[in-house]
């Protein structure tokens, strides 16, 4: 529907102005009286053409072809052009939706462009918490969105298996292990305190006995670090799998060092003239690209800062051939965006090659009271706990009903209590109900199972409520496209709720299966179309579309 209008308007635009108008804005009017779709294009041209908007709108309307698909083209308000489609056109579109299915719902805007989405990338030093879960839900949904709109997507988890944090984990486990061997060993000041650390120490002892009891940490560090972070990584992987989030690749930070990527990346920047030495340290001149200050990448003591492997990692992504990089970070890392953007530009790429999506941390409440979370003290609610309590579908939906950069309060008590009246069930229920109708229809004489898929029905039989549903369905491709281009999966969530919100009252008011064969066929077709769209939307969100509930 919107696609057709977009083409028609573009043609008219070329006639109006030889240079064309560029992308023409198409809106969904707030009121039904304003037509099915609308464009404010004339108002935007008023200044350039030095004519009143309504006058421009009139001229524009004259240039529009294919008028037969509109039942009304109206100039309204300050200069809106409102389009109302004919029933025949809408009915044909619905038939296409039913027969072409996903092909009709999706539009190839990506044209196979290679995009990598890196998300979660939690340190393998403990279980995933709720914030990671939110990142996982958003990243997976975004990946689905972009896949459905023609992008070539790879999902990657960056494993911070080098550096201070995993070392600290190893040391924490070492201390607990020593204690369990009856040896007094000081627990590291910034060590990890969670129960899982005790678990790791116990497991280690089970495997190795007390054969390490006479060792210093420096002698045994690799044993402990490797053992601990690999266990944690396996746990993270399992949590994500159970959450329904599967990664294509897992990139190890250690490999960046052993491959020589880190050294090469710095050499590369040096050749390009963005590296300098100052007070014994090696710096990256990020101010060249708008960062507040230059950044150290090799410290006075010869150690790399965390920034060095990050540079190498992003360079590595580019060398792998990705045309666009999406990083999903916790909002507390927003301060790193300028320096990462500087890296991208220093490597010769346009700044828009890297898009950083910030996911706000999740604020956890328990019965209205904030729960203090501290990873170091081992006090935090894990994704696992919430997922086990309210289920992966509800958890994901919850994370996806809000813009990713908005603060999110999750009251764990409320989330549990509301598990049966959560919006996700509202949407899933619509899907299940339609399936139930189909089951009933196949039992009824005259309706062969799946016959509604042929698109053989008479759209003229639809009443107002049904036409409203038809139009809503035909807007889905536009919503999907918009959500993909803006990287905003929550738009799909809202659309899903709106669609279900039209279907349930309709279901309640009208019987689909009636004595009238033609009417029944038409209604089954409409239900089929709704089911197709619900299924597609839920798939994008990573949520199940159950046939029974």
- Residues within window 489-528 making contact with RNA, judged by CB under 7 A: 490-491, 494, 497, 501, 504-505, 507-513
Contact status: 380 vs RNA (CB under 7 A):
no
User: What is the SS3 assignment for 131?
Assistant: helix
Contacts of RNA in 10-49 (CB under 7 A): 23-31, 33-35, 38, 40, 43-44, 46-47
Give the count of residues interacting with RNA (CB under 7 A).
Answer: 97
Contacts of RNA in 53-72 (CB under 7 A): 53
Closer CB to RNA, 185 or 336, in the complex: 336
Taking the C-alpha atoms of residue 542 and residue 2, their distance in angstroms, rounded to an integer, is 26
Closer CB to RNA, 35 or 135, in the complex: 35
Answer for which of 150, 163, 188, 378 binds RNA (CB under 7 A) is 163
| Other Cβ atoms within 10 Å of 511 Cβ, number | 11
Taking the C-alpha atoms of residue 489 and residue 404, their distance in angstroms, rounded to an integer, is 9
Contacts of RNA in 185-224 (CB under 7 A): none
Q: How far is the CB of 212 from RNA (least distance, A)?
A: 25
Contacts of RNA in 83-102 (CB under 7 A): none
Answer for which of 401, 451, 454, 544 binds RNA (CB under 7 A) is 401
Contacts of RNA in 300-339 (CB under 7 A): 300-301, 303, 305-307, 331-336
Q: How far is the CB of 531 from RNA (least distance, A)?
A: 12
Q: Residues 325, 115: contact at Cβ < 8 Å? A: yes
C-alpha atoms less than 13 angstroms from C-alpha of 32 in its C-beta half-sphere: 7
Provide the edge-to-edge strand list for the sheet that holds 324-330. 249-252, 152-159, 114-118, 324-330, 354-359
Closer CB to RNA, 273 or 505, in the complex: 505
Q: How far is the CB of 286 from RNA (least distance, A)?
A: 12
Answer for which of 63, 76, 179, 356 binds RNA (CB under 7 A) is 76
Q: How far is the CB of 183 from RNA (least distance, A)?
A: 28
Contacts of RNA in 415-474 (CB under 7 A): 418-421, 423, 425-426, 429, 432-433, 435-437, 439-440
Contacts of RNA in 97-136 (CB under 7 A): 123
Q: How far is the CB of 8 from RNA (least distance, A)?
A: 15
Residue 35 is given by DSSP the state: -
Closer CB to RNA, 114 or 546, in the complex: 546
Burial code of 437-464, b = ≥16 C-beta within 10 A, e = fewer?
bbeebeeeeebeeebbeebebebebbee
Q: How far is the CB of 173 from RNA (least distance, A)?
A: 17
Q: How far is the CB of 512 from RNA (least distance, A)?
A: 4
Handedness of CA 514, 519, 521, 523 (dihedral sign): negative
Instruction: Report residue 143 as tokens.
Output: 């990946």
User: What residues contact 107, with CB distance under 8 A and at least 6 apart?
Assistant: 3, 149, 150, 477, 480, 481
Residue 457 is given by DSSP the state: S
Taking the C-alpha atoms of residue 357 and residue 328, their distance in angstroms, rounded to an integer, is 5
Contact status: 241 vs RNA (CB under 7 A):
no
User: What is the SS3 assignment for 524?
Assistant: helix
Closer CB to RNA, 178 or 298, in the complex: 298
């Amino acid at each position: 529907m919107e696609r057709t209008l977009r083409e028609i308007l573009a043609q008219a635009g070329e006639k109006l102005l030889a240079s064309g108008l560029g992308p023409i804005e198409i809106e969904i009017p707030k009121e039904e009286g304003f037509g099915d779709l609308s464009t404010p294009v004339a108002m935007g041209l008023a200044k350039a053409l030095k004519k009143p908007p309504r006058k421009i709108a009139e001229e524009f309307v004259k240039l529009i072809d294919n008028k037969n698909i509109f039942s009304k083209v109206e100039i309204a308000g300050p200069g809106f052009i409102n389009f109302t489609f004919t029933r025949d056109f809408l009915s044909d579109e619905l038939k296409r939706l039913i027969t072409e299915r996903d092909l009709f719902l999706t539009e190839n805007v990506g044209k196979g462009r290679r995009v990598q989405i890196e998300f979660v990338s939690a340190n393998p030093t403990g279980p995933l918490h709720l914030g990671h879960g939110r990142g996982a839900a958003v990243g997976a949904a975004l990946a689905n969105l972009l896949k459905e709109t023609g992008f070539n997507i790879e999902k990657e988890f960056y494993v911070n298996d080098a550096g201070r944090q995993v070392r600290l984990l190893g040391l924490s486990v070492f201390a607990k292990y020593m204690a369990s061997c009856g040896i007094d060993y000081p627990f590291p000041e910034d060590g990890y305190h969670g129960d899982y650390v005790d678990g790791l120490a116990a497991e280690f002892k089970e495997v190795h006995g007390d054969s390490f009891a006479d060792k210093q940490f420096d002698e045994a560090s690799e044993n402990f670090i490797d053992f601990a972070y690999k266990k944690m990584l396996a746990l993270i992987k399992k949590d994500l799998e159970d959450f329904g989030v599967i990664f294509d690749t897992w990139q190890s930070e250690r490999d960046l060092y052993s491959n020589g990527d880190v050294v090469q990346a710095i050499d590369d920047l040096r050749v390009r003239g963005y590296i300098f030495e100052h007070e014994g340290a090696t710096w990256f001149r990020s101010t060249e690209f708008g960062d507040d200050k230059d950044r150290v990448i090799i410290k006075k003591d010869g150690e790399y800062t965390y920034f060095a492997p990050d540079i190498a990692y992003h360079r590595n992504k580019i060398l792998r051939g990705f045309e666009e990089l999406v990083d999903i970070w916790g909002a507390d890392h927003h301060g790193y965006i300028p320096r990462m953007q500087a890296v991208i530009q220093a490597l010769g790429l346009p700044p828009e090659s890297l898009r950083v999506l910030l996911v706000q941390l999740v604020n956890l409440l328990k019965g209205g009271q904030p729960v203090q979370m501290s990873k170091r003290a081992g006090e935090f609610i894990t994704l696992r706990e919430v997922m086990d309590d309210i289920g992966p579908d509800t958890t994901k939906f919850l994370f996806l009903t809000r813009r990713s950069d908005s603060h999110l309060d999750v009251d764990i008590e409320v989330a549990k209590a509301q598990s049966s009246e959560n919006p996700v069930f509202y949407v899933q229920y619509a899907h299940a109900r339609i399936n139930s109708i189909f089951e009933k229809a196949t039992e009824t004489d005259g309706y062969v199972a799946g016959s509604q898929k042929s698109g053989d029905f008479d759209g003229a039989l639809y009443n107002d409520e049904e036409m409203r549903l038809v139009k809503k369905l035909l807007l889905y491709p536009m919503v999907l496209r918009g959500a993909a281009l803006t990287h905003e999966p929550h738009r799909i969530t809202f659309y899903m709720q709106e669609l279900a919100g039209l279907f349930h009252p309709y279901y309640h008011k009208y019987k689909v299966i009636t004595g009238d064969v033609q009417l029944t066929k038409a209604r089954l077709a409409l239900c089929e179309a709704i089911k197709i769209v619900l299924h597609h939307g839920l798939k994008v969100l990573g949520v199940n579309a159950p046939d029974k509930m």
